[in-house]
Structure 1
Amino acid sequence: MTKKTYYVLFNANAGTAIATGVSAESIKDLFASHELHATVDARTDVTFTSRLADAMASDASVIVAAGGDGTITAVASALVGSEKSLAILPLGTVNALAKDLHVPLNLPAAIAALATGVEHRIDVGEVNGQIFLHKVVIGLIPGLAAGREHIRGKQTFSAKIGFVRYFFRRLSRAKRLAIAIEPLEGERRLERVQAIAVASNSYDEGLGQFFSRGSLDRGVLTLYVLRHLNAGDFFRLSTNMLLGRWRSDEALSMESINGVVITTKKGLVKVMLDGEVQALQSPLNFSIRPRALSVIVPTEVATQPNVEAA
């Protein structure tokens, strides 16, 4: 069996990297301790696009995204359709994909898992030609996420209280969005919504599970429509998610789809794509690319039911 080689794209500004003092040198030492050959790119004097191009041009068989969800999605976008695999060192705040793939959130354990990890293929979503790994959200949520950015890195009590006040103020003033929804196999319909999300595969319902997916290779998208969200809805939905029964909430509907076109009145619409806020041109054309990305997962994950090694 050919020995894997690794090219690590390290984002030193990721949340966990800053909080724990992770450095390029400590990452190199951890790879070396497991006799793994790795090039660690921590350059700050060149763009991430250039760093990613260098990684793709290297002889490495595995490109390692050492950062948060934004870094991981950026790396994955380059890897889709290539012969290289993605590995994750979860150094962000949320680490959504790492949790779904059961990658250890502790850095030494994550690198140790790479030593025995295996390749597995997962689906990726696509919107207007842009790759996403988790979900794209339209409506109220991107605005709230933008407010979150103002306190990123601030751990003071006053900053957190300020965000809570901002959150509920935005919630009370939020207007519903008029959109047209046209599933690939279905009729076009008009909706007034507080928020709408398109996810790669679907989120599980279970006690204590918050936005977790047990399977990433079913080859479907899931459309979530939130028709209203006031303070009461927020607390009820949060409680129901904790108790594992959120799918039946009266404010929310969901459906499995192969693709969908979402049209808004505004030509440019603000969305949250895998946790990052950006603007996309309407209409938004969503599709699913089954098993288009090779990822390295812990050996025990590959042996679970409905997980098949590549």
Structure 2
Amino acid sequence: MTYAARPSVELLHGEARQVDPHAPFVIVMNAGSGRKRGEITADLLKHAFGRANRTYELLLVDDPSQLAATAQRAVELAVARGGAVVGAGGDGTLCAVAQAAIGSGCTFGVLPCGTFNYFSRDHGIPADTEQAIALLLTARAHPVQVGYVNDRMFLVNASLGLYPKMLEHREIYKRQFGRSRIVALCSAIAMLMRRHRHLRLHVDHEGTMQEIRTSTLFVANNRLQLEQVGAAEAPLLAQGLLVALAPRAIGRLAQIVLSLRGAISRMSDADNVTGFGFRRFTVTHPSKRRRRVKIAMDGEVMKMPMPLEFRVGETPLYLLKPEADVAALNRT
């Protein structure tokens, strides 16, 4: 099954916005990203904002269940003060804060503190905390694209099937061996060695219904992540589209080979992957039951009822980020 994208369809986000040089910041920091790192970040904020004579408020989240409520409170404070809201943590934390910020008129900033930091890296935001803080104080707000599954927003990716299981398995490994990319890789390899059931899904795209059998349906909104696995569809994101990837139903050995191709950026050479760009499509189960399925969104796993509608967000997120040429240099 192959769908052709529509190159002429572009998401018109608008122009970059200048930020008031005296605007205050409200910062939501996930304590789960590391207590010591949090203390270092808090100290850097105090010194950098003090030198710049900028006011800010730091809201620390110790309980992950309170993240969404804290993000909403931060946005309300930022809007009332005419300021910006900032997420400090991994992609899941950033997504929670961004979901509260989008459409509020509030500018959004990022201090990357996660393991992979795909969102910040894709937009050229420095991984170095001191440099990222300096960027908050000088950058303009640029409109960036977001994706949705039903009413839940994602910044980087959303998926169902094997990938959510891999994320849950990765969290078990992290609790035992710590947070690192090596731990994440070992966890993924161990998970791929297991036997997995394939999904049977009905996909409705542009009025055409197709049935697919796959281990994972993966929807991406991150050019860097797609380029890392060698997906040929990566340029479609610049056309206001999201990208869906679905490996065809294959055995464990073929699944491992396919994963290795992705690890060496050769996914585009594989014959077992269906990929397409889209603005909107719907996924249902052949039984038509409103069953609940596990969905992974920016590293966080939750259950959602089917049908699932994947779509490009109509409203952009205004992100404090480098200009295009500087962002390209910072991207790694």
Partner of 2:99: 77
Structure 1 Cα separation of the partners of residues 160 and 272 of structure 2: 16
In the alignment, what sits opposite 1:275?
A: 299
Deviation per CA, 1:220-274: give whole Å up to 9, x if none.
12111111363444344434552x4322311211011111111135601011111
Count of residues in correspondence between the two structures: 299
Residue among 50, 56, 59 paired with 1:41? 59
Matches within 5 A, 1:1-310: 2-3=20-21, 4-15=23-34, 18=36, 21-22=39-40, 24-42=42-60, 44=62, 47-58=66-77, 59-155=81-177, 164=186, 167-168=189-190, 171-183=193-205, 185-200=206-221, 218-227=239-248, 228=250, 230-242=252-264, 244-264=265-285, 265=287, 267-290=291-314, 292-299=316-323, 301=325
* Contact 2:203 2:211 survives alignment (8 Å): yes
Which one-letter code corresponds to 2:317 in the other structure?
L
State the SS of the aligned residue for 1:40: strand
Cα separation, 1, equivalents of 2:327 and 2:174: 37
Q: Which moved more, 1:39-48 or 1:90-99?
A: 39-48
* 1:138 Cα offset (Å): 0.8
- From the two aligned structures, give the one with the greater helix fraction: 2
Question: Using the alignment, how far apart are the partners of 1:187 and 1:175 within structure 2?
Answer: 26
Give the conservation status (yes or no) of the 8 Å contact 2:157–2:220: yes
- Equivalent residue, structure 2, for 1:307: none
Quick one: structure 1 residues 89 and 163, their matched pair in 2 at CA, closer, same or farther if it must change by over 3 Å?
closer
Q: In 2, are the aligned partners of 1:201 and 1:218 still within 8 Å (CA)?
A: no
Residue-by-residue CA offset, 1:96-140 (whole Å, 9 max, x unaligned): 100111111111111112222111001111111111111111111
Q: C-alpha separation between the residues in 1 aligned to 2:95 and 2:254? A: 33
Identity %: 23
Closer, same or farther: CA 50–195 of 1 in aligned 2, 3 Å = closer
CA shift in 2, pair 1:274/1:105, >3 Å: same
CA distance, structure 1, for counterparts of residue 251 and residue 118 of structure 2: 23
> Given the superposition, is the C-alpha separation of residues 271 and 120 from structure 1 closer, same or farther in structure 2, using an over 3 Å criterion?
same
Aligned partners of 2:24 and 2:171: how far apart in 1?
A: 35
Change (3 A) 1:229 1:288: farther
**2: CA distance between counterparts of 1:56 and 1:208?**
35
Deviation per CA, 1:202-237, whole angstroms, max 9, x where unpaired?
A: 567657879996786532121111113634443444
CA distance in 2, matches of 1:52, 1:165: 31
SS at structure 2 position matched to 1:150: helix
CA change 1:154–1:30 in 2 (3 A) is farther
Farther off after superposition, 227-236 or 85-94 = 227-236
Conserved 8 A contact 1:7-1:41 = yes
* Unpaired stretches in structure 2, ≥5 consecutive residues: 1-17
Q: Deviations over 1:1-24 (max 9, x none)?
A: 732321111112115x55675353
Give the Å deviation of 1:291: 5.2
In 2 relative to 1, CA 301–20 (structure 1 residues): closer, same or farther, beyond 3 Å?
A: farther
CA contact (8 A) 2:32 2:62 kept: no
Shift of 1:61: 2.1
Normalised TM-score (structure 1): 0.83
| C-alpha separation in 1, matches of 2:220 and 2:177 | 30
